[in-house]
Structure 1
Amino acid sequence: MSGNSREAGRTTSSRVLALLGAFSTARSQMCLSDLARRSGLPITTAHRLINDLVDWGALERLADGRYAVGLRLWEIGCLAPRQRDLRTLALPTMQDLYVTTRENIVLATRDDDQFLYLEKISGAHSARTGTEVGGRVPLHATSVGKIFLAFSEQDLLCAVVDRGLTRFTRHTIVMPGRLGQALCHVRQTQVACAYEELAMGISSVAAPIFAPSGELQAALSIELRSSADVQRLIPAVRTAALGLTQRLSDLPPRDRGASRTGVPIELVHQAVA
């Protein structure tokens, strides 16, 4: 869709994207007024564009009058190479890891200055963590986030520190120096742990998945109740991540997906100095 908007500086495409961008894992179903407010559009404009999106299949109108993402948009999203290829590669390993641990198994990839959950496997007895496929959370308060901070470029760490480290629980690392020390340990051990740093009662352990070039590709994590023994799961998640790194090296280059440049250990110190 294209064309000029009656609102200064906004094309029809930008308005449609604003409507789609209003949805999130926390707001997966919204009424017309909420969509208009979150997209910054007048009600009449939002209503007209939403009708077009419903007709095309990008949105679905629910029985109660609210709107949700439609199957057509989901089908297109599934075509994203990084998501499709990583999920296909990792699912067998994730299933094996779940059978062994009976805990939440999560695959994540970086999306700008946050990370995106690509896949999750859990069961009836797994801890309820609030993690959802497609969800995003801050980088400094989770084990997966620490993996991305430790093995990505210096600019990412600097940006996260400059914005301030939000406290979610009394255990959240909010001092740049302490975060720097934690990331140095992550790079040395290639394992990251988070103990009730995002939510009380929930801990996690993660390991990096590297591309054949040595650059960070993704991260694999186990999320569990904080009363469980996190340390005993470190060998399992580390071995699984190493296996996925090896499987990536066996793929043809076109199937490996995007990766991120690792940051040298000394730059972690500089970024938080």
Structure 2
Amino acid sequence: MTDPPARVRGHRPPQGDPVVDRALALLAAFDAGHRSLSLGELSRRSGIPASSALRLANRLLAWGALERGEDGRFTVGLRLWEVASLAPRGQGLRQVALPFMGDLEEVTRQHVLLVVRDGLDGLLVERLSAHRAMQVLYRVGGRLPLHSTGAGLVLLAFADPAVQEEVLAQPLVHQPENVAVAAGLLRRTLAGIRREGLGTIRRSAPEPLVSVAAPVFGADDRIAAALSVVVPEEDAEPRLLGPAVRTAARSISRELGARRTIGLDG
């Protein structure tokens, strides 16, 4: 009879990879408001004991996912940016879109945004901004709500119905105004965007602005991104901005291999 295999002390049964989970939790501790963290802050924000956090952080330092300054504080490392730049939904799309975004930025002298959907959020993959452009809330790499931004509404309008229903089922609030969003009104807004191929939204914060956005389609004729301009309310002429944004979005779609006519379903 064959002896059973010797048990390795401390061996855990196969149930996923908790080391990877904890490493990802460390990286997720960083955000736009917490770009530099001490070991204690890293531990508290990730929920990982300080000794384990230090051990994992050192592994991430060795790989380049984290960097550590002379003050002992941790920051996100450039190796992560290097890897993230390979994401096809961001990089390839960005390369195609940049010339057309540059044309829009030259015309508006404000902000031009390129946003993709990631789950129930928008993810800003590129933003061109004029030197004296107005203040905006979202940074490249940051997330923005689908229900209360121009680009987000366009992404939501052309998303699968299941995604729309999941968003509509949530209690929705415009931020930073803190105003509730009525689901019925949002449904009508999304239907209008699908008809027109254009989404327009007015916001009062951080200062009065208008955002005009249009869908960008990929080679599979599914929505790949939303292109938008953000301008001060006093300078906004949606009747002029709309055709410019829609034309740029159509040009990007054509370069991506799309056959779909923007603004028309089917």
TM-score (norm 2): 0.86
Within-5 A mapping of 1:193-272: 193-196=200-203, 199-231=206-238, 232-249=240-257
CA contact (8 A) 1:108 1:220 kept: yes
CA contact (8 A) 2:57 2:66 kept: yes
Within-5 A mapping of 1:43-54: 43-54=50-61
Root-mean-square deviation over aligned CA pairs: 2.5
The CA deviation string for residues 111-151 of structure 1, in whole angstroms up to 9 with x for no partner, is 01101111111121111102211100111010111011100
Identify if the C-alpha distance between structure 1 residues 250 and 178 changes in structure 2 by more than 3 Å, giving closer, same or farther. Answer: closer
Higher helix share goes to which structure?
A: 1
Match of 1:112 in 2: 119
Identify if the C-alpha distance between structure 1 residues 17 and 217 changes in structure 2 by more than 3 Å, giving closer, same or farther. Answer: same
CA contact (8 A) 2:35 2:76 kept: yes
Q: Computing the radius of gyration over CA atoms, which structure comes out larger, 1 or 2? A: 2
CA–CA distance in structure 1, aligned partners of residues 150 and 174 of structure 2: 15
**Could you tell me how far 1:66 is from its partner in structure 2?**
2.1
What's the secondary structure of 1:34's corresponding residue? helix
TM-score (norm 1): 0.84
CA contact (8 A) 2:220 2:258 kept: no
| Residues 1:186 and 2:193 aligned together | yes
**Could you tell me how far 1:200 is from its partner in structure 2?**
4.2
Give ranges in structure 1 of 5+ residues lacking alignment: 252-263, 266-273
CA contact (8 A) 2:218 2:258 kept: no
CA–CA distance in structure 2, aligned partners of residues 47 and 230 of structure 1: 54
CA contact (8 A) 1:172 1:198 kept: no
**Could you tell me how far 1:197 is from its partner in structure 2?**
6.5
Identify if the C-alpha distance between structure 1 residues 31 and 203 changes in structure 2 by more than 3 Å, giving closer, same or farther. Answer: farther
Give ranges in structure 2 of 5+ residues lacking alignment: 1-9, 260-264
Identify if the C-alpha distance between structure 1 residues 228 and 63 changes in structure 2 by more than 3 Å, giving closer, same or farther. Answer: farther
Within-5 A mapping of 1:1-273: 11-170=18-177, 172=179, 174-196=181-203, 199-231=206-238, 232-249=240-257
What's the secondary structure of 1:182's corresponding residue? helix
Identify if the C-alpha distance between structure 1 residues 66 and 177 changes in structure 2 by more than 3 Å, giving closer, same or farther. Answer: same
The CA deviation string for residues 65-110 of structure 1, in whole angstroms up to 9 with x for no partner, is 3221111111111111111101111111111111111110111111
The CA deviation string for residues 14-54 of structure 1, in whole angstroms up to 9 with x for no partner, is 11011112222333222222221221100111111112211
CA contact (8 A) 2:135 2:206 kept: no
Task: Identify which range, 186-195 or 26-35, moves more after superposition.
Answer: 26-35
The CA deviation string for residues 203-253 of structure 1, in whole angstroms up to 9 with x for no partner, is 2111000123321011101012222214131111111001111111189xx
CA contact (8 A) 1:141 1:197 kept: no
- The higher-RCO structure (CA 8 Å, 6+ apart) is 1
The one-letter amino acid of 2:94's match is R
What's the secondary structure of 1:186's corresponding residue? helix
**Could you tell me how far 1:173 is from its partner in structure 2?**
5.9
CA contact (8 A) 1:171 1:195 kept: no
CA contact (8 A) 2:111 2:127 kept: yes
Number of residue pairs matched by the alignment: 250
CA contact (8 A) 2:151 2:213 kept: yes
